Structure 1
């Protein structure tokens, strides 16, 4: 098996140099390198090889389909081009705003920041228009003022900083997990017991690097407290589980897709989740989803509480799930 060397250094022009030691011959270079570097896609590695950015013992390699010989491989990964999002006059539901920060209720379907496939129409584009030049850029040009994010398909409360001092203060709160964050989820089936804590290691799936997964080793600690607030649908047979549930999830860590992965790991994936759904719900629940017009995972960031990083005022914001989730729950209650 290829073993990645720990060496990592920054090239003078901002590019990153990765060094990978392969200890055995492999039939394909691109596959060997992708196995050694799980955070770099195989397609990306193929493009880097084609661009002459991969060398073995100082010799440039030009074909990813060639066999990989044992040795030290160096991969020059160019620095990403700086994004320069444009201000856009998009509707924003502002819950709080002062000279230091802004709290909004992000709608489902709006990406937090520009990314491939969502270059415009993002929360950052809206904030640039609303706040002008006051937004903090400490998080990077592509994500001014952003200290945390919600998935594009998740609605709810978010905070953004207007200057670097506020940005640093908020970042410290999130890093220390000194933030109150509770989400409302509608799930397929329910969880047992009805109240509990899920603790696991979360990281990239070894089977699909686009997904996160519960890992036995590696990854990062992830902790979610949950409470089943209600169940819907009579079990099909005695002793069977309800068809769906409303679950309040409180985060103690903020890992990518944490709630979606944790609920799925307990056999209760979020309704409408296109990635972690792991099988269709009962027919009556599918009909309710269609009638409610839900086209995303049923997840809403309902509560965000923290101490203002500048004024030290305690702040707490709570919003109800939007129409698609509200309509779905109303239909589930009739099952």
Structure 2
């Protein structure tokens, strides 16, 4: 039996969605072995029951510890027994789409035989989809990793274990082989990776830090948006921890630590808290939500919108366990220039106000 996850490509035809490890990047299967089952290697048993899944992919999943029998991980040569309960997590379903290799510069922070960690610029879509068939990160990776077998298959999600929004900048890790893919994918599926984002939000947060808990699901009012619902049957459990880093008058710079990674999670959680991201057109942050009515202030905010013409969100850091060395790796990236300039403008504005009030 397979857990069904929504197709993220349906969310928006022109914009890559916020990362969601249960929206198209992972498949979770559960099986119960019949009472009359004879002894058979689990890789062969699963290959016989899973359509369009090669024995090599199943063996890579086993090597990564992604196949559990009665709650314990097993290797490919495990012999299935009657009434065994089997679960398996596989990275992304395969999809058919011609990938055009493109020589697009990449900001690579680290690379070895198993993984590549890079800093994505705002404006780049992660993988091809409706309305974005070229110019994506996967097009660039297909060119830069053309000698790597995993990227010679023409798969639109080759190596992807997570995503960030088109207009979100920051760190991504990409797997370079099936084993690394399965190993890192399991960490995202189990929420054991460490991810920190920086965001500029409207309003002055009441608390210095806190936790937002609320199921995230597609909005019933607007199919291009997600919404927060009470804990229950609707949507997927989502948890965001936040901390205020800097108070800048009518906006705050915050840090968000993701416990889960749902579609648009930070953006919709902050809107739910009445503090949408600065210049987030999808969730209302592209309006002047806080401040005075003076025309000089309105001009200042509009200038800020021009400086950072996207939602002010940056994937600041990422930590995960390396698939081969089993060492924990940690990467960090500075705020991009548009967000740095945006913050400097607000700091100058706050300082000038304080001088006027003296």
TM over 0.5: yes
Task: Indicate if the aligned counterparts of 2:9 and 2:129 stay in contact, CA closer than 8 A.
Answer: no
Give the C-alpha shift of residue 181 in structure 1: 0.2
Q: Structure 1's 83 and 214: CA in aligned 2 closer, same or farther, altered over 3 A?
A: same
| Aligned residue among 185, 195, 205 for 2:199 | 185
The TM-score normalised by the length of structure 1 is 0.71
- Following superposition, the deviation at residue 290 of structure 1 comes to 3.7
Give the 3 Å change call, closer, same or farther, for CA 138–272 of structure 1 in structure 2: farther
Aligned partner of 1:209 in structure 2 is: 223
- Of 231, 236, 254, the residue aligned with 2:247 is 231
Aligned length: 256
- Check if 1:253 corresponds to 2:253: no
Distance 1:213 1:285, change over 3 A: farther
Q: What is the alpha-carbon distance in structure 2 between the residues aligned to residue 158 and residue 38 of structure 1?
A: 21
User: In the alignment, does 2:132 pair up with 1:118?
Assistant: yes
1:316 aligns with 2:330: yes
Contact 1:288 1:332 in 2 (8 A): no
Runs of 4+ in 1 over 3 A off after TM superposition: 37-41, 135-140
Q: Partners of 1:219 and 1:99 in 2: how far apart? A: 37
Take 1:107 and 1:252, find their aligned partners in 2: how far apart are those partners? 24
Alpha-carbon RMSD across the aligned residues, in angstroms, is 2.9
Query: Structure 1 residue 199 and structure 2 residue 213: aligned?
Result: yes
* Alpha-carbon shift at residue 190 of structure 1 (Å): 2.8
Structure with bigger helix share is: 2
Tell me which residue corresponds to 1:221: 237
1:74 matched residue in structure 2:
none
Compared CA separation, residues 138 and 207, structure 1 to 2 (3 A): farther
Which of the numbers 304, 311, 315 marks the counterpart of 1:289?
304
Q: Is the 8 A contact 1:112 1:122 kept in 2?
A: yes
CA distance in 1, matches of 2:138, 2:286: 34
Q: Is the 8 A contact 1:137 1:164 kept in 2?
A: no
- Relative distance call for 1:80 and 1:248 in structure 2 (3 A) is closer
1 or 2 for the larger relative contact order (CA 8 Å, sep ≥6)?
2
- How many angstroms apart in 2 are the aligned matches of 1:38 and 1:86? 22
How far did 1:135 drift? 5.8
Structure 1 CA distance, aligned partners of 2:9 and 2:174? Answer: 29
State the partner residue of 1:54: none
Matched, 1:147 2:154: no
C-alpha distance in 1 between matches for 2:8 and 2:101:
31
Cα-to-partner distance string for 1:186-216 (whole Å, 9 max, x where unaligned)? 1111322120000111001111122110013
Unaligned runs of 5+ in 1: 1-6, 9-36, 42-78, 234-242
TM (norm. structure 2) is 0.66
Q: Are the counterparts in 2 of residues 109 and 154 from structure 1 also a CA contact under 8 Å? A: yes
TM-superposed CA distance for 1:309, in Å, is 1.4
Structure 1 counterpart of 2:279:
272
Given the alignment, which residue of 96, 99, 102 partners 1:88? 102
